[in-house]
Amino acid sequence: MKKLKIAQLVPPWLAVPPKKYGGTELIASYLTEELVKRGHNVTLFASGDSKTKAKLVSVFPKALYWQETSWQEPYRPLLHAFSCFKKAKNFDIIHNHFHYWGLCFSGLTKTKVITTYHGDFNSIPKNTAKYKLLEKFKNSLFVSISNSQRKIKNLKLNFIATVYNGIDVKKFQFNDKPDNYLAWMGRITPKKGILEAIKIAKKVGLPLKIAAKIDKNYPPDVEFYEKKIKPFIDGKKVIYIGEIGGCQAKSNFLKGAIALLNPITWKEPFGLVMPEAMACGTPVIVFDRGSAREVVKDKKTGFIVKNIPQAINALKKIGEIKRKDCRLWVEKKFTKERMVDKYEKLYYKILEKNASKTKSK
């Protein structure tokens, strides 16, 4: 089949790949680099400090997050999205990872556009501006990152496929003999379950190591950390090691844990930290929300629980989980190669369908 001209539009807030925390940017990097490896002509629209073998187009030399730009500031993001869509005729397909900004421009071009939304649709209240925008573009081509992400109240979007996120499994070191600690990794914000993880660890008497980002550009998260989390950090039972990034650092952190605690309180659409932990052989204890049942195989690669007491009971049985089964599960379901296979096939399918429509007219 002919090689494609593909645009990858990624948010300009963080570099691609992210230097530390950043799920969307990491997935976009895996996808971009593998597509280039397969011979496609790929253009990455991202911040200028990104690293890629694709053609890089940037409006901003440095990621906006490090320029103290508010997440709510719309003007520079609009310029970033425009830089992609003004070149739309140069591409066979545009893959939009930049949610609302990309959607707004998508109706202005004949080039096919697919949107992978990396967040939770259910957290968008009805009749808000975001909700109305999604309603306006509900017939666009959406790709879900889990089946659970499709379950949206009062709004039916045009999902054309589900493609699970993938990781570079080979860069995560398997370890069958963990140390004596629990792990929590992510961004310190209430819905990610950091406070619940601390409570679970304290109840079972095991140290909890926290590798996490505190979003300095989002005051509610800073306040949450200062008032709710920081008082528990003592360097012995609750240990905060800071924000980490890269497969090696993540692997070193996760592989030694007895288990990864992921007591989320929101309908998380995927949760990349779970396959990253399981790739190291580390089982996951996750609250039964969002994509949990699609990512973790209950009683095989971890335990899916409903609350803190059930999580405590699950830890008592964590020895029943064979750590090798965790690794095998990720190798089967969540590799970056498998993810790119699915996106690549989807690109061709969309373009073939469009070509058939054109011929029939």
Average pLDDT over residues 117-140: 87
If asked whether residues 55 and 35 sit together in one domain, one would say yes
Crossing angle for the helix pair 336-360 and 23-37, to the nearest 10 degrees: 70
If asked whether residues 124 and 182 sit together in one domain, one would say no
Residues ≥6 apart with Cβ < 8 Å to 250: 172, 185, 211, 244, 276
| Residue 119 pLDDT class (50, 70, 90 cuts) | confident
Torsion-angle region of residue 97: left (phi > 0), alpha (psi -120 to 50) or beta? alpha
Q: How far apart are CA 170 and CA 331, in angstroms?
A: 9
For the chain, what is the domain count? 2
If asked whether residues 21 and 124 sit together in one domain, one would say yes
| Residue 326 pLDDT class (50, 70, 90 cuts) | very high
What are the φ and ψ backbone dihedral angles of 278, each rounded to 5 degrees? -65, -30
- Choice among 8-12, 50-54, 110-114, 151-155 with the minimum mean pLDDT: 151-155
Q: Which amino acid is at 52?
A: T
Task: Pull the structure tokens for residue 317.
Answer: 């049985």
| CATH, residue 31 | 3.40.50.2000
Q: How far apart are CA 24 and CA 4, in angstroms?
A: 22
Nearest to 239 by CA among 208, 261, 201: 208
pLDDT digits (tens, 9 = 90+) for 61-81: 999 987 765 556 778 889 999
If asked whether residues 150 and 75 sit together in one domain, one would say yes
Burial of residue 351, with CB atoms counted within 10 A of its CB: 0-12 exposed, 13-18 middle, 19 or more buried:
middle
Dihedral (Cα; 30, 133, 91, 41), 10-degree rounding: 0
- The sign of the dihedral angle between the CA atoms of 61, 111, 7, 3 is negative
If asked whether residues 116 and 62 sit together in one domain, one would say yes
pLDDT digits (tens, 9 = 90+) for 104-113: 999 899 999 9
If asked whether residues 86 and 234 sit together in one domain, one would say no
SS3 207: coil
- The sign of the dihedral angle between the CA atoms of 12, 15, 20, 26 is positive
Given a contact cutoff of 8 angstroms between Cβ atoms, the answer to whether 274 and 284 are in contact is yes
β-pair partners for 239: 209
pLDDT digits (tens, 9 = 90+) for 252-301: 999 999 999 999 999 999 999 999 999 999 999 999 999 999 999 999 99
What are the φ and ψ backbone dihedral angles of 256, each rounded to 5 degrees? -90, -5
If asked whether residues 220 and 92 sit together in one domain, one would say no
Report the mean per-residue pLDDT for the chain.
94
pLDDT at 356: 65
DSSP per residue, 7-23: EEE--SSS-SS-SSS-H
pLDDT at 185: 98
Domain span including residue 194? 169-333
If asked whether residues 126 and 10 sit together in one domain, one would say yes
Q: How far apart are CA 349 and CA 183, in angstroms?
A: 41
Residues ≥6 apart with Cβ < 8 Å to 251: 171, 172, 173, 279, 280
If asked whether residues 143 and 108 sit together in one domain, one would say yes
If asked whether residues 309 and 354 sit together in one domain, one would say no
If asked whether residues 184 and 329 sit together in one domain, one would say yes
pLDDT at 161: 97
Q: For tokens 């950043």, what's the residue?
A: 22
Distance of CA 220 to the CA centre of its chain: 21
If asked whether residues 61 and 108 sit together in one domain, one would say yes
Residues ≥6 apart with Cβ < 8 Å to 67: 60
0.85 exceeded by pTM: yes
